[in-house]
Amino acid sequence: MSHIITLNAGSSSLKFGLFEVQGGTPVTLGTGLVDRIGGAQAHISATAADGSTIADDGPQHIPDQTAALDRVLTLLDRLYPGAKVAAVGHRVVHGGADIVAPITLTPDVVDSLEKFSPFAPLHQPHNLAGARAAMERFPNAVQIACFDTAFHRNHPWVNDTFALPREFYDKGVRRYGFHGLSYEYVTGYMAETAPLLHAGRVVIAHLGNGASMCAVVAGRSVGSTMGFSALDGLPMGTRSGQLDPGVVLYLMEQEGMDAAEIADLLYRKSGLLGLSGLSHDMRTLEAADTPQSRQAISYFTFRIRRELGALAAVLGGLDAVVFTGGIGENSRHVRERVCQNMGWIGIEIDHDANADNKPVISTMLSRVQVMVVNTDEELVIARAAAKLLGHETAQAMPA
């Protein structure tokens, strides 16, 4: 029996999964997370397919992604001795304008994807570092990349461009959209469980430390709140979201900030953290209930409501809204605030169902069905890997 490892490398984290291929279909054995990579407070956690905890190790010193991968492989070898790895699937944030599907990675292909690092500076380098490390550990396994941007590559031109001279569009300055793996999972889930809604007009809200929304028709993305970079659209844990470009000019000209300082401000010190002065974590903000935390949550939900109306206009109507991501799946307070007084657009929320985190939280009379779906980006990667795997020879887990 062959196995697939999935790797989702971030700036300070590494999500991973191990799947067994049964009849060409990946079946989850375990998934986990290495968090706070880069210091002595790193932590490794993992759960089995039934949700039970199978690892909870830390704090420990994990200096970089290569070291994190070493710890993950050691853990998986201990938990699943004898696993034969036929493929390693990677999440890669940026695939540019032309990549529309998963691809097989070679060293040359990985090098070519470096050109997109300026478009996603906090994600792309770590994604590619994880791919290079996996190639060293599994030289005979198939390495497969799945791209967050690929899901959005069929946008209409008006949803893909900025009002800049056309030469910049030709150079790649355009709206790419992100969180594509999450949106792919949700649309696939809807195709299986709610085919009539899947065929209609849906807004998916992926709300987490990174947050975006996507307008979907019949499973196809036609608009996204994220644009050229993962900074645009909704406010996030530490990212600003939509910002008047004049603010950046002001920061340069009047505050004397250089590009690195502005990037640090917009990517790491803004969003919920900047507004609250307390934390980027919604759970912390809801528990704190300070004036600043309440304001941060109010701004977050206000922007979601604003974008919901805009995306409904893009779709020409609305049949369903789906909440997903860490906040979308778990914060009944945020979902309630977003759906409050949205009867004009056809949303009527069932407060009891929302409080209980039910899969459907709208009332029977609501013209728009409101759903909560637990996303699974690792499964999307594993499915793509299984599809591209073919008849490659499996490789034993390295010691």
The active-site residue, picked from 70, 98, 108, 148, is 148
Radius of gyration for the alpha carbons in the chain, expressed in angstroms and rounded: 21
| Nearest alpha carbon to residue 234 among 127, 334, 340 | 334
Cβ burial of 49 (10 Å; 0-12, 13-18, 19+) is middle
Q: Is 148 a catalytic residue?
A: yes
How far apart (Å, rounded) are the C-alpha atoms in residues 258 and 236? 23
**C-alpha pair distances (Å), 82 with each of 24, 32, 357, 399:** 19, 19, 38, 11
395 three-state secondary structure = strand
**69 within 8 A of 6, measured Cβ to Cβ:** no
**393 within 8 A of 370, measured Cβ to Cβ:** no
**86 within 8 A of 20, measured Cβ to Cβ:** no
How far apart (Å, rounded) are the C-alpha atoms in residues 158 and 178? 17
Q: What share of the chain is helix, strand, coil (3-state, %, to 5)?
A: 40, 25, 35
Residues designated catalytic: 148
